[in-house]
Amino acid sequence: MKIIILGAGQVGTSLALSLEGENNDITLIDSDPKRLRYIQDHLDLRTIVGHAAFPDVLENAGIDDSDMLVAVTSSDEVNMIACQIAHTLYQTPSKIARIRASNYLNNDNLFAHQHIPVDVVISPERLVTEYIERLVDNPGAFQVLDFAKGLLRLVAVKAYYGGPLVGNALSELKQHLPNVDTRVAAIFRRGRPIVPTGHTVIEADDEVFFLSAKKHIRSVMSELQRLEKKYQRVIIAGGGNIGEGLAKKLEKKMLVKIIERDPHRAEELANNLEDTLVLQGDVSDEDLLNDENISEFDLFIAVTNDDEANIMSALLAKRLGVRKTMVLINRTAYVDLIQGHEIDIAISPQQVTIGSLLTHIRRGHVSSVYSLRRGAAEAIEAIAKGNEQTSSVIGRTISELALPPGTSIGAIVRDEQVIIAHDNVIIRENDHVVLFMVDKGYIQDVERLFQVNVTYF
């Protein structure tokens, strides 16, 4: 594909990195020449210095014959205008825009083709809020991803001593949980991927990714670690869009307090939130945290716009006795450094957003894409289309499929039924097939596998 990316920030650069090496023709536009020089030294792509919404800059980038425009600059208005120009002047087939402001997002008709022609709107704040909510609902997991509208989940947990399966082979999981159908899709041991078999022995500190129906998640987690109690009391540090959205989702389930430094914003939050206690103050104020009995809380979630404030406030909260901490980190290099010590879970908004972008870029009836382990692996939900004559997968058993190296099928969702993948399972039309790839260099092979022969149309 010929793709133009507008904006060389964290999201634009991460997207370019994810697409590099897949035979895509990528052009990256940004107004900062220093940033572009750095990127060009590290990635094999074309860069152009200029204003992302100017027609002459877009034309220089080759917009007239591009397949896709991905507008992820820091300005909602620039992203929208760029999509408008690409549609009006160049009839670009696919246009994706990152939009942050809720005033734009709350108007359903704004992004229709006859108004502002954006084919796909990506809202990082909404994506991150939903992602954190899933983590809150599943204590002990460090990644929780939905497939087939939530019928199937991919959950990542760290195996600890005390989990019944730790020190035992995967084949024993069925004996421990005879009435639960689940599939371990991948294991990362000391940072390296292992393709699991029935003989694979789970070791302490393994990162285990498993697929299961939503109702069985807690049962499978209990095999890998001591099951944690559900969170009941939460403090959110930061009252921005993510903090407010998270409070709205959690306040009906548990006791929620939110800390916001700005007095005007704090007053606004108090008016917008129904059952959340809003505190005006510094998230790193030790006296404030003690006054609010931080040691009695289950979870401290830091989601301000400042990475350092998030890290320091979470470290302080942990020292003062909070049970678990989650931190939003914009600098992806920090994520691996801090997660798993005093900081229990580090969340990269870029990686959450990248998955949503990749969903709309992948070919071959791909309906969901998730970036795993900071982009090293991918989980893909592909829909089987066609018939036995026009499709490479329909009517065939899983064992008959020519899957690329390091790729496995974890589960199939058929109508409302979750079918854990076994070699003799036959794929049917409209099945949602969930694949796990530990080497995303083979992504094009997977895309081709689920493309339909032209005679189908």
138-149: average pLDDT: 88
Summary count for the chain: helices (H), strands (E): 15, 22
Euclidean distance between CA atoms 333 and 158, whole angstroms: 21
The segment(s) of the chain belonging to CATH 3.40.50.720 are: 2-122, 233-351
State the chain's mean pLDDT as an integer: 88
Q: Report the CATH number of the 2-122 domain.
A: 3.40.50.720
Residue 64 near residue 328, CB atoms below 8 Å: no
| pLDDT greater than 90 at residue 192 | no
**With bands split at pLDDT 50, 70 and 90, how would you rate the model's confidence at 1?**
confident
In terms of CATH, what superfamily is 362-450?
Regulator of K+ conductance, C-terminal domain (3.30.70.1450)
Q: Which fold has domain 233-351?
A: Rossmann fold (3.40.50)
Amino acid at 130: E
| Model confidence pLDDT, tens digit, residues 23-77 | 778 999 999 999 999 888 888 889 999 999 999 999 999 999 999 999 999 999 9
| Model confidence pLDDT, tens digit, residues 86-121 | 999 999 999 999 998 888 888 778 888 788 899 989
The pTM is what? 0.84
Q: How far from the centroid of its chain's Cα atoms is residue 339's Cα?
A: 17
316: left (phi over 0), alpha (psi -120 to 50) or beta: alpha
Q: Which of 199-208, 413-422, 445-454 has the lowest mean pLDDT?
A: 445-454
Between the CA of residue 391 and those of 55, 243, 380, what are the distances in Å? 41, 45, 18
| pLDDT greater than 90 at residue 132 | yes
Euclidean distance between CA atoms 330 and 349, whole angstroms: 6
The segment(s) of the chain belonging to CATH 3.30.70.1450 are: 128-224, 362-450
Its CATH class, for the domain covering 128-224, is: alpha beta
What's the pLDDT score for residue 306?
Answer: 92
